[in-house]
A and B are shown apart, each in its own frame.
Chain A
Amino acid sequence: MIFDTGLSSAMEITVNVMMIVLTVALLMAFFRLVKGPTLPDRVVALDLVAAIAVAIFAVYAVVVDQPVFIDAAIVLALIIFLGTVAFARYTERRGRP
């Protein structure tokens, strides 16, 4: 087991498998972020990276038994929406993909 949570074995297996699955999904989204090929593709990938990061924060709050990490998830969700809106405006202004 990667994370020793001290919970019941079913919960511990779930949390560990979930962390691995979320990391794989994060790597997939990050690959699209690097590869592109256009700017809107990268922005969509960044949006997905943020959503997966919010889920990882939530699972990590369960792992360390600290509900404070939910606050970090709130902040990340707020900031990344502003980033998406700003990138959409910028793409439209720039006029080329």
Chain B
Amino acid sequence: MSEVIIVILMATGAALMLLAGIGILRMPDLFTRMHVATKSATLGVGCVLTAVAIFFGDVGVFTRALLVILFFFLTAPVGAHLIGRAGYIVGVPLWEGTKWDELKGKYDHSNHTLNSPKTLKTRVPDPDSPHARDDT
């Protein structure tokens, strides 16, 4: 019974990893590549490590495998966000089929702030709020 679960989990993990490889090879620009690599690779690693943990059936191995899975689920989105942000700031070209770029014209490259008149410039701080800032 446990062997069936192991085989299914391992096959799912390998398929997701292959999907990530195909995606990073075939996708047209940085952001789509980042999106496909991060999501499917994270889930693939999770599946494979769960299968390995079930295979050994040991508390120590299970804890360590859980640690790796937890670590991947925590760090992969953070790393992808950081590198995507850096890529956007330095001006990596978007795919020509991109329909929406919500940051276009709103991002100030000189001081790294967002220029959004609706939310930033006309907001009146509540004087009774303990979080009211003096500089706004």
- On A, residues with C-beta under 8 Å from B are 8, 10-11, 14-15, 17-18, 21-22, 24-29, 31-32, 38, 40-41, 43-45, 47-48, 51-52, 54-55, 58-59, 61-62, 67, 70-71, 73-74, 77-78, 81, 84-85, 87-89, 91-92, 94-97
Q: How many A-B residue pairs have CB under 8 A?
A: 179
Q: How far is the CA of A55 from the CA of B18 in the complex (A)?
A: 12
Chain B interface size range:
35 or more
A45 touches B6 (CB 8 A): no
- On B, residues with C-beta under 8 Å from A are 3, 6-7, 10-11, 13-15, 17-18, 20-22, 24-25, 30, 33-34, 37-38, 41-42, 44-45, 48-49, 52, 55-56, 58, 60-61, 64-65, 67-68, 71-72, 75-76, 78-80, 82-87, 89-93
B83 touches A29 (CB 8 A): no
A29 touches B21 (CB 8 A): yes
Q: Which residue on A lies nearest to B42, using beta carbons?
A: A51
